[in-house]
Amino acid sequence: MNEDASARLSRRRLLTGAVGLGAAGLGGAAMAGRALAGNADNLPPHVPEWTRTLGDGVGVRAYGQPSKFEKHVVRRDVQWLTASRESSVSFTPLHELDGIITPNGLCFERHHGGIAEIDPQDHRLIVHGLTDKALMLTLADLKRFPRVNRIHFLECAANSGMEWRGAQLNGCQYTHGMVHCVQYTGVPLKLILEEAGLKPNAKWILAEGADASAMTRSLPLAKALDDCLVATRMNGEMLRPEQGYPVRLVVPGWEGNMWVKWLRRLEVGDQPWQVREETSKYTDLLPDGRARRFTFVMDAKSVITSPSPQAPVAAKGFLVISGLAWSGRGTVRRVDVSLDGGRNWREAKIDGPVLDKACVRFYAETEWNGEELLLQSRAIDDTGYVQPTKDDLRKIRGTNSIYHNNGIQTWRVAPSGEVENVEVG
């Protein structure tokens, strides 16, 4: 988050004060909405209109789009968060998705100077600094290198940053939607650095974007040589403009701000650059007034995506609770789910791939008979790290740190099936 969003919360509280009406409207239609049928003439025993007429032929939809009935599945933003939409964020609609792969058009956006629309013919990547030679690469050059395919989550360091001082936004899209998980195709950064040749005193890399903010971040050389990619593709197709077309850095498990989009330059140096985004931003202010810096790794985290405030419970009876978990330290080993606000836990079932620094999908089954639920999930990764409660985090970090809020989320399921964002104690 460019702005100190959690700090703003206190001001908003003063402005709004009493119980709001907006949230009531959000949940009011919870169960009733599902009973509404569109057109009875399409229901049995009638023959529906899409059976009686021919549909579009091939070629009409040269680049396929989701059904017109899925128009509500979109990224959303929170306008009061930032001063402008060019330096702002939009959130992944996690509550509408399943599995582990985020569709390209739904991956959250975070821009600092708007979306750069780059003509790939005019894009260049320069590699220089403490190298044997300065290298100039075209996109065609990049595509000639050996490439690999890796599925990784990307989480903004400020994901859940608005929740430090308490439950604030009603929807996992807003509380947790600055994360996505796609398959990248790219060149190992190691190969590109070695093509230029590293000097013995090389220790850090500066990555720079070609957008209107010319985003820069310093990256330790050890990470650069370990698992970073210079990616051109996501989920098979070329990167979307919002995600850095035609070239972005992939820094698995580390905060999203470091995954520089529209990558135009890699400078090799012997110390960090201490740029604005790693000093005045993306540092974690603690209660003693000092701040942690270079907090690159995203700790283990999970969230129940359904039910959640935007995805209320549809019916009494059998209920599948579903969510996402991830860890920047490795793989997710286990996810536990609680129905009673963290008093009792049971292990959820992880279904689908369990990959290094990637999202996993978990499910827990229950029978729901209209009683109040306080749903929580906690991720445990293969280093033994257990996702902490929000209060455990606050005990150490206070409420001013904005970034790296991986505390356990609580959703309250009301007897009506409505779901709301709450804190418990």
Partner 1 sequence: MAVSCAETSPSAAADITDIGHCRGALPLPDGERVGVRRLGRSRGRFPLTPALSPTGRGSRPRVGRCIASIVSATIVTMALFSSSPSFAQDKAAAPRKFNIGRVATPQEISGWDIDVRPDGQGLPDGKGSVADGEEIYMAKCAACHGEFGEGAGRWPVLASGKGTLKSDDPVKTVGSYFPYAASVFDYVRHAMPFGDAQSLTNDELYAVTAYVLNLNDIVPEDFVLSKETFGNIKMPNAGGFYDDDRETAEKAFWNPKPCMSDCKPPVKVTARARVIDVTPEDAKGRPGAD
Sites for partner 1 among residues 114-133 (CB under 8 A): 126-128, 133
Closest CB to partner 1 among residues 13, 46? 13
Sites for partner 1 among residues 301-360 (CB under 8 A): 309-310, 336, 340-346
Cβ contact 387:408 at 8 Å:
yes
Task: Give the Cα separation of 37 and 6 in Å (integer).
Answer: 41
Q: In this chain, which of 31, 75, 195, 350 binds partner 1, going by CB under 8 A?
A: 195
| Site residue total, partner 1 (CB under 8 A) | 122
Cβ contact 213:264 at 8 Å:
no
Would you tell me how many other CB atoms lie within 10 Å of the CB of residue 143?
14
Cβ contact 213:207 at 8 Å:
no
For partner 1, what does the binding mask look like between residues 11 and 40, x meaning CB under 8 A? -xx--x-xxxxxxxxx--x---xx-x----
Closest CB to partner 1 among residues 174, 245? 174
Closest CB to partner 1 among residues 22, 45? 22
Least Å distance between CB 301 and partner 1? 12
Least Å distance between CB 151 and partner 1? 23
> Can you list the positions of beta strands (E) in 17-170?
76-77, 88-91, 109-111, 125-129, 135-137, 148-155
Task: Give the Cα separation of 65 and 409 in Å (integer).
Answer: 33
Of the candidate spans 44-52, 79-87, 228-236, 247-255, the one that interacts with partner 1 by CB under 8 A turns out to be 79-87
Closest CB to partner 1 among residues 32, 320? 32
Q: In this chain, which of 186, 267, 303, 319 binds partner 1, going by CB under 8 A?
A: 267
Strand partners for 263: 209
Least Å distance between CB 78 and partner 1? 6
Phi, psi torsion values for 337, nearest 5 degrees: -125, 140
Distances (CA, A) of 307 to 214, 316, 414: 40, 13, 11
Cβ contact 170:421 at 8 Å:
yes
Q: In this chain, which of 54, 60, 83, 222 binds partner 1, going by CB under 8 A?
A: 83
388 binds partner 1 (CB under 8 A): yes
Sites for partner 1 among residues 37-56 (CB under 8 A): none
292 binds partner 1 (CB under 8 A): yes
Sites for partner 1 among residues 85-104 (CB under 8 A): 86-87
Would you tell me how many other CB atoms lie within 10 Å of the CB of residue 16?
10
Least Å distance between CB 315 and partner 1? 15
Task: Give the Cα separation of 47 and 371 in Å (integer).
Answer: 40
Closest CB to partner 1 among residues 9, 249? 9
Least Å distance between CB 226 and partner 1? 15
How far separated are the first and last CA of the chain, in Å rounded?
28
Task: Give the Cα separation of 219 and 178 in Å (integer).
Answer: 21
414 binds partner 1 (CB under 8 A): no
Distance of CA 290 to the CA centre of its chain: 27
Q: In this chain, which of 3, 155, 242, 255 binds partner 1, going by CB under 8 A?
A: 3
Distances (CA, A) of 237 to 182, 245, 285: 11, 11, 39
Q: Tell me the one-letter amino acid at 177.
A: G
Least Å distance between CB 134 and partner 1? 4
Cβ contact 108:179 at 8 Å:
yes
Least Å distance between CB 170 and partner 1? 4
Sites for partner 1 among residues 134-193 (CB under 8 A): 134-138, 141, 144-145, 166-171, 173-174, 191
Of the candidate spans 177-185, 254-262, 350-358, 388-396, the one that interacts with partner 1 by CB under 8 A turns out to be 388-396
